[in-house]
Amino acid sequence: MVVPPLPDQPVGVPTAPSAPMPVAPVGGAARDVQPAQGRSLSDDPLWFKKAVFYEVWVRSFCDSTGTGTGDLNGLASKLDYLAWLGVDCIWIPPFFPSPGRDGGYDVELFTGIQVQVGTHHGMKTLLDEAHARGIRVISDFVVNHTSSDHPWFVSSREDPDGPHGDYYVWRDDDTGYPDARIIFVDTEESNWTFDPVRKQFYWHRFYSHQPDLNYENPKVLEEVLNAMRYWLDLGVDGFRLDAVPYLIEEEGTNCENLPATHEILKRIRAMVDEEYPGRLLLAEANQWPNDVIEYFGDDDECHMAFHFPVMPRLFMALRKGSSEPIRSILADTPELPEGCQWATFLRNHDELTLEMVSEEERKYMWNEYAPVPKMRLNLGIRRRLAPLLDNDQRQIRLMHALLLALPGSPVLYYGDEIGM
């Protein structure tokens, strides 16, 4: 992939060039770089093993209407830039209707599009134009929960005996599943919240406005599969499956990585393989490699999964001037099934998570990269790459070199290529 020069200081929203972009090659004068020409989609079913991914927040990327909000048409207008950059697959975080209390991960309708972002026609145009340039597009799909504003939840709380009454996990008290950890320790005191309408408690692994779906009810999985089919029929090339370790609850466990969760993923993969061969399932499971390996199954669950623990160790290695943190975690990473791949990254839309480090390592990372408390969020750091690295081009280039050298397919975060 092409790495354009970085500005001396981070800039605002990355504006892709509409004209040829001057680049200073090593040992030569500046030249004009034209957008990539003649690329086509590979018919290799393992295309993702050689791909460069690029996560882009549509609402922050390019505004085509002058409203101050990025949109699908704006993203489509910058596809030549992304093709020139060497991007093989764009990953779009949630664009569904949402109250917006968790960056769109609180979904209100699985088959809709936020009005500010665009229309279904705009999405179809984006997909067609990206495919014409040899770029695939995957989207987030939040399989674990919905917004409390979702029509299913509204119906469930108002009519317990109705068609959506058991689409969520309800109990008369809040004593169930005591071994399940609280993930958002900064904001949540319990995984249960009392609903004054239904007069019962509902289960949520994340924010209290994000009730967990009840996959013990087979109708829930059918609803989710049909929503996936909707986007796959439109031309989406796959999904990043959000928060997959938490789909099933079971007393006496920590409610993570349970066998029944893997059965659900096998059902999703079987549908994709049978009806949409060549499409991708990317698991978001913030777990240790020996746990995440289970989300590949026997090459019958997810095609890819993020390697979360290697990410903070890249930053740790940089500060310590030692490759030991990277070598150690890679040595603890098991071999993958033949048709599977790791996804590696430096930054993304979430905080730089420090869940998969020791308490001592977490304190070290906070001291080195987030000395001011407001830079911290939950068990992580909420800063972009360039500020984390003191806007130092050498460090930014080195970290990208390390990323590209790791086993797996790299996932870039929009704007990092220009030091945003």
Does the predicted model carry a pTM greater than 0.85? yes
**What pLDDT score was predicted for residue 253?**
98
377 contacts: CB under 8 Å, gap ≥ 6: 186, 351
**What pLDDT score was predicted for residue 247?**
98
Place of tokens 């058991």: 166
What type of residue is 361?
A: E
**What pLDDT score was predicted for residue 37?**
56
The rounded average pLDDT for each run of 10 residues, N- to C-terminus, in the chain (420 residues) is: 40 35 30 55 94 96 95 97 97 97 96 97 98 98 98 98 98 98 93 98 98 98 98 98 97 97 98 98 94 96 97 96 96 96 94 90 92 89 93 96 96 94
**What pLDDT score was predicted for residue 42?**
86
**What pLDDT score was predicted for residue 38?**
62
**What pLDDT score was predicted for residue 30?**
30
Three-state SS at 21: strand
Distance CA 42, CA 402 (A): 26
Q: Which H helix or E strand runs over 246?
A: none
Count of residues making up the chain: 420
> Phi/psi class of residue 252: alpha, beta or left (left: φ > 0; alpha: ψ in -120 to 50)?
left
Contact, 57 vs 93, CB < 8 A? yes
Three-state SS at 375: helix
> Of 331, 294, 326, 295, whose CA–CA distance to 310 is shortest?
326
φ, ψ (nearest 5 deg) of residue 212: -75, 140
Strands 280-283 and 409-413: unpaired
* Beta-bridge partner residues of 55: 91, 413
Pull the structure tokens for residue 285. 């499971």
60 contacts: CB under 8 Å, gap ≥ 6: 13, 70, 414
The catalytic residue positions are: 242, 284
196 contacts: CB under 8 Å, gap ≥ 6: none
175 contacts: CB under 8 Å, gap ≥ 6: none
**What pLDDT score was predicted for residue 185?**
87
Distances (CA, A) of 331 to 80, 170, 317, 342: 39, 42, 15, 14
Beta strands in 196-285 (DSSP E): 200-203, 238-242, 280-283
What type of residue is 165?
A: G
Helices (H), 35-194: 58-61, 72-76, 79-85, 120-132, 151-158
**What pLDDT score was predicted for residue 4?**
43
* Beta-bridge partner residues of 171: 201
Cβ neighbourhood burial of 416 (10 Å; 0-12, 13-18, 19+): buried
In order of their start, the domains of the chain are: 47-143+218-418 (3.20.20.80), 145-212 (3.90.400.10)
Beta strands in 356-408 (DSSP E): 376-377, 380-381
What type of residue is 206?
A: F
